[in-house]
Structure 1
Amino acid sequence: MIRQAVASDEPEISRCAALAYARYVPVIGRRPAPMDADFAAQIAAGQVHVFTAENGAFLGFIVFYAHGDHVLLENVAVLPEAAGRGVGKALVAFCEREARVRGKRAVHLYTNEKMTENLSIYPKLGYVEVARRSEDGFHRVYFEKPLD
C-alpha cells in the first residue's frame, strides 16, 4: 500500500535512506545527497509517500513534487531486505500516476552517475537521459519521461 507520509514516519524514512544509500558512500566518496535530506520538512510539505506491506511494515518511500510543467522525482529508496520485490517500481509508477492527475506533462529525475544500476533501471521504465551535470560536488545524470 502507498500512502502519504506523516510526521511519525520520519524515523523509518531516515533509516531507509541510510540503509539504501550506504553502499554508495565508498563508490561516490561521500554521503549521497538523499542521506542528508530534510525529511521532516518534505513530509510537512506533502512531498513524501511511503510503501507499506499488508501488515503495515514499512518497505520504502518516494519524494516528489510539482515543478513547473513536470513532477520532479527527487528520491526513491527501498529497504535492502525488500529490494527486488517491485517496491521501487511501484513507487515510481505511483509518482507517474500522480503527475498525470496533477496535469503534468512529464516526470524528471536525476541520479548520481556512479549509481550504475539506476542508469540501466530508469531506461527500462521509459526514462530517457537528457543531461549530465555536476552540482554541489555530485556528478548527476538527468532523466525525463514524457507522460501521455
Structure 2
Amino acid sequence: MDGIEFARATAADVPAIVALVHEAYDPYVARLGVVPAPLTADYAAIVGDGRAAVARRDGCVVGLLVSSMHPGCVEVENIAVAGSERGSGLGTRLLDLADEQARAAGASEVRLYTNAGMTENVAYYPRRGFRETGRRRSDGYDRVFFTRGVAPASD
C-alpha cells in the first residue's frame, strides 16, 4: 500500500498530535489575528473521549481527524495534515474516514466548519463534495459551515 495506517489515537499520541496541530494551524495566527480554536483544544481529553483518529506513516503521526457523533451526523471538529503529506490525498482520506464513521453509526451526513479566513479550506471542502450551508460568527470566530451526504452502507 502507501504506508499510511489509520488508528484510534492513544494517550501516547498526544504530544505528536499537539505538534501536528501547531504545524497545521500556527501559520494562520497572523492572518486571522486570533488563535485558531484547534490550537486551544485539550487533546488529552479528546483522545480520552475516543474522538481522535490518527494517520501514521512509519509510526509517525502525519494526520489527525477529530470527530463527534450527533443525531443523524458526524461532525468533523478538526482535520490536520503534516506538511510532508500535503497534496498526497491524506486530507481526502481523513474525510472519507469521517464518512465511514457516519455509515457505521447510521448517520446520513458529515458536517464541518472552518474559519472564513482560512480561504484554502473554504475552497477545499466544496472540491470534496461538501456544500456550504451558512456563514456566521460562532464562539468568537467567523465560520463557514459545510455538509456532505453519506450513502448508507451496502450489504
Residue-by-residue CA offset, 1:90-109 (whole Å, 9 max, x unaligned)? 11111111111110010000
Residue-by-residue CA offset, 1:113-140 (whole Å, 9 max, x unaligned)? 0100111110111100001110121000
1:6 maps to which of 10, 27, 31: 10
| CA distance in structure 1 between the aligned counterparts of 2:19 and 2:105, rounded to whole angstroms | 30
SS of match in other structure, 1:31: coil
Give the unaligned 5+ runs of structure 1.
none
Q: CA RMSD in A?
A: 0.8
1:88 has 2:91 as partner: yes
Kindly state the Cα deviation for residue 15 of structure 1 after the two structures are TM-superposed: 0.5
SS of match in other structure, 2:26: helix
2:76 maps to which of 52, 73, 77: 73
2:42 maps to which of 32, 38, 44: 38
1:64 maps to which of 55, 63, 67: 67
SS of match in other structure, 2:87: coil
Name 2:111's counterpart in structure 1. 108
| CA distance in structure 2 between the aligned counterparts of 1:56 and 1:81, rounded to whole angstroms | 14
| CA distance in structure 2 between the aligned counterparts of 1:17 and 1:82, rounded to whole angstroms | 14
Kindly state the Cα deviation for residue 60 of structure 1 after the two structures are TM-superposed: 1.2
1:20 has 2:24 as partner: yes
Q: What TM-score, normalized to structure 2? A: 0.92
Q: What TM-score, normalized to structure 1? A: 0.96
Name 2:53's counterpart in structure 1. 49
Q: How many residues align?
A: 147
Kindly state the Cα deviation for residue 81 of structure 1 after the two structures are TM-superposed: 2.0
2:129 maps to which of 121, 126, 142: 126
* Residue type at the aligned position of 1:30: V
| CA distance in structure 2 between the aligned counterparts of 1:104 and 1:135, rounded to whole angstroms | 24
Kindly state the Cα deviation for residue 87 of structure 1 after the two structures are TM-superposed: 1.4
Q: State percent identity of aligned pairs.
A: 37
Kindly state the Cα deviation for residue 41 of structure 1 after the two structures are TM-superposed: 0.7
| CA distance in structure 2 between the aligned counterparts of 1:3 and 1:75, rounded to whole angstroms | 16
